[in-house]
């Protein structure tokens, strides 16, 4: 029965590949197909294919047959949880968007080091990954998703990624320092939700383009002084920042329209908010 399903899946994949070849399509979706290996006929699209969606191909075990698809600019491998080797991707130097999220067993991303055209990279849920050294040279990145990398302890490799405008760092529970972010002055969105070990935000003081900042669940934070100069902020989430005792640093953030203070159990007054006349959404509860 399993072999029959595999054969049916491959036949469907072959049909889609043939259609793409016949029509000259530049994009192909094989999303959700449960084959264990890629159809070898993918190679016939090597000269034309620029976008390939293999998301949630949960039975796929290797990517070797992607090696010749050097014209790809977008590759989606979300949820391909059995893949533990990315060598075949290393030659895809035209890639601008790559998603590898949901592959918790992956421990090495060295193959990405040469993908210098990348502008968007999604590594969500790579919970076994301990370093990001391979990203240090990817200086064209504008959006980087590192949510739920629970084994990661530092962000040093990001220091030179000065084109970043959006950075998502949710649930990096072992992260203690944001020093590597100090020079990322193009950032407009930064999410640090659930970074339980963070005690200070000094590195953010110069990120004056920030408009959205999410500090939910940063329970070790005791003050917000570093935010005082972030006058472009329009949305700030401080919910569950249980150690915060005052909001004085927010007094000058007059562009704020949304502020979330739910479950900030140590806060005793909101006097610092009196001048924030642009606020349209304020959430406060204990």
Does residue 283 sit in the same domain as residue 255? yes
pTM: 0.94
Same domain, 27 and 141: yes
Section 143-168 average pLDDT: 96
The average pLDDT across 37-53 equals 95
Q: 198 and 275: one domain?
A: yes
Classify residue 111 as exposed, middle or buried by CB count within 10 Å of its CB (0-12, 13-18, 19+): middle
Residues 173-178, mean pLDDT to the nearest whole number: 91
Alpha helices in 72-193 (DSSP H): none
Note whether 44 and 125 are same-domain residues.
Answer: yes
**Are 139 and 199 found together in one domain?**
no
Cβ(279)–Cβ(258) below 8 Å: yes
Q: What is the pLDDT of residue 1?
A: 45
Judge whether residue 2 has pLDDT over 70.
no
pLDDT exceeding 90 applies to what percent of the chain? 86
Q: 285 or 176: which carries more pLDDT confidence?
A: 176
pLDDT at 244 over 60: yes
**pLDDT score at 268:** 87
Residue at which a domain ends, from 91, 122, 152? 152
Phi, psi of 56 (to 5 degrees): 60, 30
86 and 139 both lie in a single domain = yes
Q: What is the pLDDT of residue 163?
A: 99
> Six-digit token pair at 44?
């016939």
Q: What is the pLDDT of residue 79?
A: 93
What pLDDT digit, counting tens, does each position of 108-126 carry?
999 999 999 999 999 999 9
Q: Got the DSSP string for 224-248? A: -GGGTT-TT--EEE-TT-TT----G
Same domain assignment for residues 141 and 173? no
Q: Can you give the pLDDT at residue 7?
A: 72
User: Parallel, antiparallel, or unpaired for β 258-260 and 120-122?
Assistant: unpaired
In terms of domains, do 133 and 167 share one?
Answer: no
Give the rounded percent of residues in the chain with a pLDDT score beyond 70.
97
Please, what is the average pLDDT of the chain? 94
Q: CATH code at 206?
A: 3.80.10.10
Most confident of 9-13, 100-104, 156-160: 156-160
Question: What's the whole-number mean pLDDT along residues 181-191?
Answer: 99
Domain check: are 32 and 91 in the same one? Answer: yes
Q: What is the mean pLDDT of residues 181-193?
A: 98
User: Which tokens hold the place of 229?
Assistant: 């100069």
pLDDT value of position 16: 96
Structural domain span for residue 167: 159-286
113 and 193 belong to one structural domain: no
* 84 pLDDT higher than 90: no
Q: How many domains does the chain have?
A: 2
Q: Do 147 and 6 share a domain, yes or no?
A: yes
Given this model, what pLDDT does residue 106 score? Answer: 86
Sign for the pseudo-dihedral over CA of 84, 64, 88, 24 = negative
Domain boundary among 121, 152, 183: 152
Q: Which of 109, 125, 152 is the last residue of a domain?
A: 152
Q: Tell me, yes or no, whether 148 and 51 share the same domain.
A: yes
Tokens 């976008």 belong to which residue?
Answer: 51
Confidence label for 5 from pLDDT (cuts 50, 70 and 90): low
């Amino acid at each position: 029965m399993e072999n029959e399903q595999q054969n049916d899946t491959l036949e469907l994949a072959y049909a889609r590949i043939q259609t793409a070849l016949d029509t000259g399509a530049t994009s192909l979706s094989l999303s959700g197909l449960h084959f264990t290996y890629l159809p070898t006929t993918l190679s016939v699209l090597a000269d034309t294919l620029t976008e390939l969606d293999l998301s949630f191909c949960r039975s796929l075990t290797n990517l070797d047959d992607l090696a010749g698809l050097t014209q790809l600019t977008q590759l989606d491998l979300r949820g391909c949880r059995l893949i533990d080797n990315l060598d075949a991707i290393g030659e895809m130097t035209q890639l601008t968007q790559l998603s590898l999220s949901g592959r918790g067993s992956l421990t090495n991303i060295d193959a990405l080091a040469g993908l210098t055209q990348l502008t968007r990279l999604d590594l969500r849920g790579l919970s076994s990954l301990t370093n990001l050294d391979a990203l240090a040279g990817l200086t064209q990145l504008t959006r980087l998703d590192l949510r739920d990398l629970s084994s990661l302890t530092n962000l040093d490799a990001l220091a030179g990624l000065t084109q970043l405008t959006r950075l998502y760092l949710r649930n990096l529970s072992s992260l203690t320092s944001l020093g590597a972010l100090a020079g990322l002055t193009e950032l407009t969105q930064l999410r640090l939700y659930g970074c339980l070990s963070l005690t200070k935000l000094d590195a953010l003081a110069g990120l004056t383009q920030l408009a959205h900042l999410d500090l939910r669940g940063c329970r070790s934070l005791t003050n917000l002084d570093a935010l005082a100069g972030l006058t472009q902020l329009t949305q700030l989430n401080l919910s569950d920042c249980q150690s915060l005792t005052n909001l004085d640093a927010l007094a000058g953030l007059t562009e704020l329209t949304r502020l979330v203070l739910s479950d900030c159990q140590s806060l005793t007054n909101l006097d610092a908010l009196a001048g924030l006349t642009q606020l349209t959404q304020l959430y406060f509860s204990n």
